[in-house]
């Protein structure tokens, strides 16, 4: 069975070398494994919890998307999308919110840290705390459960959130999964083998420690300047150095082959000066990062290409999410009333909904029309009349392949709420893939 692997990247800030080595590179490598279906997304709704500067959000989404694409993420292979392009995510968030124990959210680390800090300062426990921060783990659970991910690669700090997602999935399955287990129980994957890269001062590389080395921003010059600031001991050129106590060597290792690592160590033991060692390190990193930086610059100069790639990703993601959410709505009781009337039984079984169908026909006025009809005969879309049958056929084809995205252009009227129409179209698109 294919394993679904899903992870989100909160879009605040600009990726640095530590993000690349610790998250981006291993995730892209894992996405190339056979039998793995990867979902990577920009967690931009999560970003809003931490950041109320619209320009920074915009900039960071762009930089992070460009970074992942430049680093070799293949959007054909991976479903790469923005959280905020998936309206099913906030919708599922609400369904999950209704079965999540408040007490459990009180114990979430991020919220707890914030209330503890307030209390330590003698303030009201909830001072300055938003419902966004409080409900953060539920939004994250929705991200994961909507796609029934098996594995979720995350840092240690996020493991509790995955456990909460499992819990809420279990509760939901228990309450509503009479027909079948609705949610897969996700597993956190914390990769101990992946190095956490040290920063300039030897502590974990992190923006909050101000010890980060930029990945692409600022070009080779910024990379060189940052490397010049790596803290070393004060041994002079010619004096033997101990490679095993130098975080400069650890950073070098992350970009070097086993032979290159051995050579670098031997040279340091033989007295290579730190200045020269930094030059070697710069060249080593630059040989990896330089070609990707060129891709990055190209993408940043053409944000419309990034937008296009993300919209394609959103379409792929929604082909999964829309029919699944429809099933979940049915499971909790948000069902079409026509379905109840037809069967006469309010305990109607939740079946996979039948696809809506397009019908093309000609009216007495001589014009060609089409309509989209749901399995309960509700007219979802009604076209205007066309002089040519081909024209009507062309629109049907576009709606079938592009789904709701084509609604903006198509000369049609909606017969019911937009959401129902979008879901029907998404199911049609999904059925063709
Ligand atoms: N909260 C995660 C972080 O800060 C980002 C994230 C959001 C995420 N939704 C997710 C990670 C779903 C994994 C799965 O790192």
Contact in structure between 224 and 289 (CB atoms under 8 Å): no
Residue 347 has pLDDT above 90, yes or no: no
158 touches ligand 1 (CB under 6 Å)? yes
151 touches ligand 1 (CB under 6 Å)? no
Residue 432 has pLDDT above 80, yes or no: no
- Rounded mean pLDDT, 23-49: 94
Q: How far is the CA of 55 from the centre of ligand 1 (A)?
A: 21
d(CA 419, CA 428): 14
CB contact burial 310-326 (16+ within 10 A = b; e otherwise): beebbbbbbbbbbbbbb
User: What is the overall mean pLDDT for the chain?
Assistant: 92
State the architecture of 3-192+302-319 in CATH terms: 3-Layer(aba) Sandwich (3.40)
Q: Residue 81 is encoded by which pair of tokens?
A: 């999308």
The Cβ of residue 81 has, within 10 Å, a number of other Cβ atoms equal to: 25
Which residue's alpha carbon is nearest to atom 13 within ligand 1? 7
Q: How far is the CA of 6 from the centre of ligand 1 (A)?
A: 9
Q: How far is the CA of 42 from the centre of ligand 1 (A)?
A: 9
- Rounded mean pLDDT, 411-417: 91
Q: Which pLDDT band, with edges at 50, 70 and 90, does 354 fall under?
A: confident
Q: Residue 401 is encoded by which pair of tokens?
A: 């392949």
Residue 418 has pLDDT above 90, yes or no: no
User: What pLDDT, on a 0 to 100 scale, did the predictor assign at position 346?
Assistant: 54
143 touches ligand 1 (CB under 6 Å)? yes
For a ligand 1 pocket test, name from 143, 196, 317 the mutation site with the most ligand atoms within 8 angstroms of its C-beta: 143
pLDDT tens digits for range 280-338:
999 999 999 999 999 999 999 999 999 999 999 999 999 999 999 999 999 999 999 98
Q: Which pLDDT band, with edges at 50, 70 and 90, does 342 fall under?
A: low
User: What pLDDT, on a 0 to 100 scale, did the predictor assign at position 404?
Assistant: 86
Half-sphere exposure of 228 (CA within 13 A, CB side): 6
Stretch(es) of the chain classified as CATH 3.30.160.160: 344-432
Q: How far is the CA of 46 from the centre of ligand 1 (A)?
A: 8
User: What pLDDT, on a 0 to 100 scale, did the predictor assign at position 357?
Assistant: 92
Map tokens 């024209």 to a residue: 391
Residue 401 has pLDDT above 90, yes or no: no
Closest-CA residue to 314 (of 160, 155, 83): 83
User: What CATH code is assigned to 216-301?
Assistant: 1.10.240.10
- Rounded mean pLDDT, 56-70: 96
Range from 221-225, 338-342, 370-374 carrying the lowest mean pLDDT: 338-342
Stretch(es) of the chain classified as CATH 3.40.50.620: 3-192+302-319
| Parallel/antiparallel/unpaired status of strands 357-362 and 368-373 | antiparallel
User: What pLDDT, on a 0 to 100 scale, did the predictor assign at position 114?
Assistant: 95
% residues pLDDT > 90 (the chain):
79
User: What pLDDT, on a 0 to 100 scale, did the predictor assign at position 403?
Assistant: 86
Q: Residue 426 is encoded by which pair of tokens?
A: 């998404």
Burial bucket for residue 15 (CB in 10 Å: 0-12, 13-18, 19+): buried
| Single pTM value for the model | 0.76
Range from 161-165, 190-194, 200-204, 371-375 carrying the lowest mean pLDDT: 190-194
Strand, helix or coil for residue 21:
helix
User: What pLDDT, on a 0 to 100 scale, did the predictor assign at position 86?
Assistant: 98
DSSP per residue over 131-160, as a string?
HHHHHHHHHHHHHHHTTT-SEEE--GGGHH
Q: How far is CA 26 from CA 22, 64, 212, 247, 295, in A?
A: 7, 16, 19, 21, 19
User: What pLDDT, on a 0 to 100 scale, did the predictor assign at position 353?
Assistant: 64
Q: Which pLDDT band, with edges at 50, 70 and 90, does 345 fall under?
A: low
Residue 14 has pLDDT above 70, yes or no: yes
- Rounded mean pLDDT, 75-89: 97
38 touches ligand 1 (CB under 6 Å)? no
User: What CATH code is assigned to 344-432?
Assistant: 3.30.160.160
Stretch(es) of the chain classified as CATH 1.10.240.10: 216-301
Ligand 1 atom closest to 43 (CA): 7
d(CA 309, CA 307): 6
Map tokens 């050579």 to a residue: 263
Contact in structure between 342 and 376 (CB atoms under 8 Å): yes
Q: Which pLDDT band, with edges at 50, 70 and 90, does 429 fall under?
A: confident
Closest-CA residue to 18 (of 300, 283, 211): 211
User: What pLDDT, on a 0 to 100 scale, did the predictor assign at position 351?
Assistant: 59
pLDDT tens digits for range 97-153:
999 999 999 999 999 999 999 999 999 999 999 999 999 999 999 999 999 999 999
pLDDT tens digits for range 188-199:
998 776 668 999
């Amino acid at each position: 069975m294919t394993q679904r692997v899903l992870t989100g990247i909160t879009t605040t800030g600009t990726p640095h070398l530590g993000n690349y080595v610790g998250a981006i590179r291993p995730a892209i490598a894992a996405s190339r494994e056979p039998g793995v279906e990867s979902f990577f997304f920009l967690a931009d709704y999560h970003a809003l919890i931490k950041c109320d500067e619209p320009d920074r959000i915009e900039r960071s989404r762009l930089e992070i998307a460009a970074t992942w694409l430049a680093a070799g993420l293949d959007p054909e292979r991976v479903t790469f999308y923005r959280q905020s392009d998936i309206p099913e995510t906030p919708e599922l968030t609400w369904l999950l919110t209704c079965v999540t124990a408040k007490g459990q959210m009180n114990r979430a680390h991020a919220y707890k840290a914030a209330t503890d800090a307030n209390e330590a300062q003698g303030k009201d426990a909830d001072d300055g705390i938003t419902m966004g921060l409080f409900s953060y783990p539920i939004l994250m659970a929705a991200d994961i459960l909507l796609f029934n991910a098996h594995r979720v690669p995350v840092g240690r700090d996020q493991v509790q959130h995955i456990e909460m997602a499992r819990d809420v999935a279990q509760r939901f399955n228990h309450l509503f999964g009479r027909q079948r287990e609705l949610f897969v129980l996700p597993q956190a994957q914390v990769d101990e083998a992946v190095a956490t890269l040290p920063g300039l001062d030897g502590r974990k590389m992190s923006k909050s420690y101000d010890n980060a080395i930029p990945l692409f921003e600022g070009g080779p010059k910024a990379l060189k300047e940052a490397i010049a600031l790596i803290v070393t001991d004060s041994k002079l050129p010619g004096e033997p150095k101990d490679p095993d106590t130098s975080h400069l060597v650890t950073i070098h290792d992350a970009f070097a082959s086993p032979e290159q690592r051995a050579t670098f160590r031997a040279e340091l033991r033989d007295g290579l000066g730190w200045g020269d060692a930094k030059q070697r390190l710069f060249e080593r990193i630059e040989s990896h990062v330089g070609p990707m930086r060129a891709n990055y610059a190209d993408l940043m100069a053409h944000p419309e290409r990034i937008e296009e790639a993300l919209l394609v990703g959103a379409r792929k993601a929604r082909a999964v999410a829309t029919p699944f959410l429809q099933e979940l709505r049915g499971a909790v009781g948000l069902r079409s009333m026509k379905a109840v009337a037809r069967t006469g039984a309010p305990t109607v079984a939740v079946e996979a909904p039948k696809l809506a169908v397009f019908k093309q026909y000609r009216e007495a006025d001589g014009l060609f029309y089409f309509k989209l009809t749901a399995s309960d005969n509700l007219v979802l879309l009604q076209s205007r009349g066309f002089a040519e049958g081909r024209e009507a056929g062309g629109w049907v084809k576009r709606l079938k392949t592009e789904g709701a995205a084509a609604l903006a252009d198509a000369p049609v009227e909606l017969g019911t709420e937009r959401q129902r129409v979008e879901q029907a179209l998404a199911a049609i698109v999904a059925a063709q893939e």
